[in-house]
Amino acid sequence: MDELELLLDLHVKGERQGPGSTEATLRALEMITLPSEKELKVADMGCGTGAQSLVLAGQLTGQVTAVDLFPAFLDELTKKAKEMGLSEKIVTCQQSMDDLPFRKEQFDLIWSEGAIYTIGFEEGIRQWKEYLKVGGYLAVSEVTWVSSSRPKEIVEFWSREYPEIGTAATKINQLEANGYTLVGYFFLSPQSWLSNYYKPLQERFPAFLTRHKHSELAKKVVAAHQQEINLYERHQAHYSYGFYIARKDAR
């Protein structure tokens, strides 16, 4: 198995593949005013195994198109949707989020939690606007600085991993510069990181290592995740995910 296959294997049985919570998904959804009687068209970009797609499908009338690059995640989502009686409301789309087969102004709502970084926040909001109806909503979570001065260790880490990390003011300015009006934003709680993502991930490490006979590559994958967790534990006062909810303007 190569490193990508190992990563998929480590994450595919996770309830979520990044920090978040059902409460945060619902809180973001509450900020959005969409006609409840209408059949809505919703896209969830970088859906993983569907933590948010399933919540959205359960809450909204209409259809959720769940987009991810990896079939293994989408298969898992399809299985969960079936178990929850939501199959009719979710279609999967195995495609890269920067190369999408969608029509202009196809969607009432574009959702994306912890995934836009793969193409970059500004590039993502710019490209996806095309698929959103005027007056439609974007709800996106993105790693964000929450303090005004930060230790060198964490600045260096994020400059390597995702130099586009910024403050909420920067993200909001980017939304406004790209034809959106901010409706609201909030930060994910530490529980969204620790209890909902990192702890279940750590609990999967031993079985993952056993499955892969403690190979050097499997150990490297675990070590990289553990380093990320250690950094979060040390520096959580300085960054989180910002959840940004915005409406597409008429221009």
Residue from 108, 114, 124, 128 touching ligand SAM (CB under 6 A): that is 114
Q: Coil, strand or helix: which one is 149?
A: coil
In sequence order, the β-bridge partners of residue 47 are none
* Residue placing its CB nearer to ligand SAM in the complex, 118 or 226: 118
* Residue placing its CB nearer to ligand SAM in the complex, 3 or 39: 3
Minimum distance of ligand SAM from residue 47's CB (angstroms): 5
DSSP 117: G
Tokens at residue 155, please? 């600045």
Which phi and psi angles does 152 have, rounded to 5°?
Answer: -55, -40
Minimum distance of ligand SAM from residue 37's CB (angstroms): 28
What is the total count of residues that contact ligand SAM (CB under 6 A)? 20
Residue from 6, 21, 68, 232 touching ligand SAM (CB under 6 A): that is 68
DSSP 214: T
Q: Candidates 16-24, 171-179, 200-208, 222-230 — which segment interacts with ligand SAM by CB under 6 A?
A: 16-24
69 binds ligand SAM (CB under 6 A): yes
- Is 12 in contact with 76 (CB distance < 8 Å)? yes
Q: Candidates 22-30, 64-72, 142-150, 157-165 — which segment interacts with ligand SAM by CB under 6 A?
A: 64-72
DSSP 103: P
18 binds ligand SAM (CB under 6 A): yes
- Is 20 in contact with 46 (CB distance < 8 Å)? no
**Contact characters 87-106, ligand SAM, x per CB under 6 A:** ---------xx---------
Residue from 106, 118, 170, 202 touching ligand SAM (CB under 6 A): that is 118
124 binds ligand SAM (CB under 6 A): no
CA dihedral 210, 216, 218, 222 (to 10 degrees): 100
195 binds ligand SAM (CB under 6 A): no
Tokens at residue 91, please? 């279609």
Q: Candidates 83-91, 107-115, 130-138, 148-156 — which segment interacts with ligand SAM by CB under 6 A?
A: 107-115
CB atoms within 10 A of CB 112: 25
Long-range own/partner contacts, residues 149-153 (CB < 8 A, 24 or more apart): 150/235, 150/238, 150/239, 151/235, 151/238, 153/231, 153/234, 153/235
Q: Can you give the binding site for ligand SAM, defined by CB under 6 A?
A: 16-18, 20, 46-48, 51-52, 67-70, 73, 96-97, 113-115, 118
